[in-house]
Amino acid sequence: MFKISTPKPPSYSLMASKTEIQIQPDPPPPPNSGDPRAIYARAIRTHSADRSLHNHLITLCSKSTPSSFPLRLFSQISIPNVVSWTALISSQSNTLAALRHFISMLRHPTSPNQRTFATLFKTCASLSFLSFGLSLHSLSLKLGLSSEPYSGSALIHFYSKCGMPVYARKVLDEIPQRDRDAVCYGAAIVGLAQNSRPIDALSAFADMKCRDVASSMYTVSGALRAAAELAALEQCRIIHTHVVVMGLDGNVVVGTSLLDAYGKSGMVCDARQVFDESNSLGGSLVGCNAMLAAYAQQGDKDSALELFYKMEGRGLVPDEYSFLAILMCLGNAGLVLETDWWLKRMKADYGLEPVLEHYTCLVGAMGRAGQLEDAERAAMTIPIAPDAAVWRTLLTCAAYHKSPDLARSMAKRLLEIDPQDDSAYVIVANVLSSAGKWDEVAEVRMMMKDRRVKKEGGRSWIEVRGEVHVFLAGDRRHQRIDEIYAKVAELMEGIEKLGYVPLPNEMLHGVGEQEKKEALWYHSEKLAVAFGVVSAPPGKPLRIVKNLRICRDCHEAFKYMCWLLEREIIVRDVNRYHIFSNGRCNCGEMW
């Protein structure tokens, strides 16, 4: 007989009499009517405990009782069916026990349904069991269940979690159009966005809207994440309009996604407008952190500090992400004393223990301020072992301050962690070439060759009238390429008259002047700018995104181009935002 409830350990009271002290237990609490064990006990007393009730109780008790109870209930079923097995598997999902129960189910034998597969795919995703998940997919294909909405959406999630977005998209395409609901689209859109397939994610979102499938906060937030990665401002605005029409603008998840999308598109003013118009965002720590992160991306320390103090005034308690945004702003500005003060404040005032990202901001602040020895000493003495980001920060600072010795040392430490980091080779080679150490440059290039490290190809993209155009260095594939190349030549000739001089590049050492000139002219970011000039409405800022660190020559050229064109050029590279205006960049030459 099962116990009706799980009473608390009995407590005892002392009842004194003239002759003896009696110890009696306190009366047990009344059984909880919502407890599945109590329901089961009443069913036994009334002789109504059939298989359907057992199945229902297994589902109910999976979240409210010990894990052994669903199995004990299951053992009372004389002939379990697929619902019984699925309930048991679901009660122990995300554990190896779920997979063991499935194997037992096949041995009985009982054929699974789409809900069984849905639970199992989620379990494989959480446990990262790729091989088992592939076997399940094969079985679901044989049974004709892989394209059903329940199992299909879970299968999309499984492939997304395993880093296989192409297969996730293929599963979505195999689900009949009549069966594709918001869950299927949500799994695909979020999975594609999380796996850096933003164009595919936006394509799936557009397909969902064309088929009149109602949006959810998951589909919208996934689409906004994709638009944020592309810095596709027009897409952000289109999705924002859709959010308002669907009545999702009050949702905190959607709101923070909007802040992130506008922030990463370089439109912090639009992000702040969304923030100010939403009571839910301004009153939540998540919303404030998203707005602080947008300011941090732009290096706007004054606005970030103002918002932080307002947040404290509203009674919101900042967390480690709040402080990280402030430290990033101050660290990128090279404000060593302020960065150190805020780092100490998060421990003293809020009891928050800094993690490596917080200490990296302090190291970066010292390096940017030219305190290279102090920065290296700080990196060596922080209470957490430095990672690649710490050494890369110091390497960048050494490059800016033209310190070949430190650059060589930091590159060595960085390559000990990641020997395939192509950026480390390129940065240290450029520093050494600037110092005229060509023998050491040759050694770096030979090391790259021996280790078979290839410099990652640069890609830049620009959004014009809602369409994203991608360019590679020396690209010839675009349908308007002749017009683009002519505009690049015109721009380069124009900025040379203003005083632009190409910067030295070790990769072009020994190359003829004409070849060197053309190699610098047709970088991916310059092609993107030229396309924006010939395609985008005049006067509006040109927004470029690059997958790598913007090269020094393009950075120098854009300072002159924004002056020549009399319009802002905004570049978001892998490190930070660069806003070129009136012949200057907001990064202060540090990136």
Which pLDDT score is estimated for 317? 95
380 residue type, one letter = M
Q: Hey, how many other C-beta atoms are within 10 angstroms of the C-beta on 266?
A: 25
DSSP H stretches of helix in 451-537: 481-498, 513-521, 524-535
Which pLDDT score is estimated for 72? 76
Q: Which of 71-75, 384-388, 393-397 has the lowest mean pLDDT?
A: 71-75
Give the length of the chain.
591
Contact 88, 75 (CB under 8 A): no
DSSP H stretches of helix in 92-181: 96-107, 114-127, 130-142, 149-161, 165-174
The two three-digit tokens of residue 213, written as one number? 């499938």
Contact 114, 144 (CB under 8 A): no
Q: Are strands 21-25 and 12-16 parallel, antiparallel or unpaired?
A: antiparallel
Residues 6+ apart with CB under 8 A from 392: 410, 414, 421, 423, 424
The two three-digit tokens of residue 578, written as one number? 């660069």
Q: Which of 278-287, 479-488, 559-568 has the lowest mean pLDDT?
A: 278-287
Confidence check: pLDDT of 509 > 60? no
Tell me the sheet residues that pair with 22.
15
Which pLDDT score is estimated for 208? 95
Q: What rounded mean pLDDT belongs to the chain?
A: 86
What is the crossing angle of helices 372-381 and 356-368, to 10°?
Answer: 170
Confidence check: pLDDT of 342 > 90? yes
Higher pLDDT, 35 or 383: 383
Tens of pLDDT, residues 42-55: 555 444 455 666 66
Residue (of 578, 17, 582, 1) closest to 297 by Cα position: 578
Higher pLDDT, 475 or 480: 480
Most confidently modeled range among 6-10, 22-26, 503-507:
503-507
CA angle 207, 184, 241 (to 5 degrees): 45
**Greatest CA separation for the chain:** 113
Confidence check: pLDDT of 512 > 70? no
CA angle 84, 90, 91 (to 5 degrees): 90
Strand order in the sheet with 542-546: 467-472, 459-464, 542-546, 569-572, 577-581, 584-585
Which pLDDT score is estimated for 1? 33
Confidence check: pLDDT of 199 > 60? yes
Spans of all domains in the chain: 215-310, 459-585
Confidence check: pLDDT of 403 > 70? yes
Which pLDDT score is estimated for 45? 46
**Is the C-alpha dihedral spanning 99, 101, 104, 105 positive or negative?**
negative
* 476 SS3 class: coil
Confidence check: pLDDT of 506 > 70? no
Tell me the sheet residues that pair with 464.
467
> pTM to 2 decimals?
0.80
Which pLDDT score is estimated for 13? 33
Share of the chain above pLDDT 70, in %: 86
State mean pLDDT over 463-486.
90
Which pLDDT score is estimated for 51? 60
137 residue type, one letter = H
CA–CA gap between residue 396 and residue 562 (Å, rounded): 25
Tens of pLDDT, residues 413-441: 999 998 999 889 988 998 898 888 888 98
Q: Which of 66-75, 205-214, 536-545 has the lowest mean pLDDT?
A: 66-75
CA–CA gap between residue 392 and residue 379 (Å, rounded): 11
pLDDT band at 12 (very low <50, low <70, confident <90, very high): very low
Higher pLDDT, 33 or 445: 445
Contact 131, 139 (CB under 8 A): no
**Is the C-alpha dihedral spanning 62, 63, 66, 67 positive or negative?**
positive
Which pLDDT score is estimated for 329? 92
Which pLDDT score is estimated for 511? 52
Confidence check: pLDDT of 84 > 70? yes
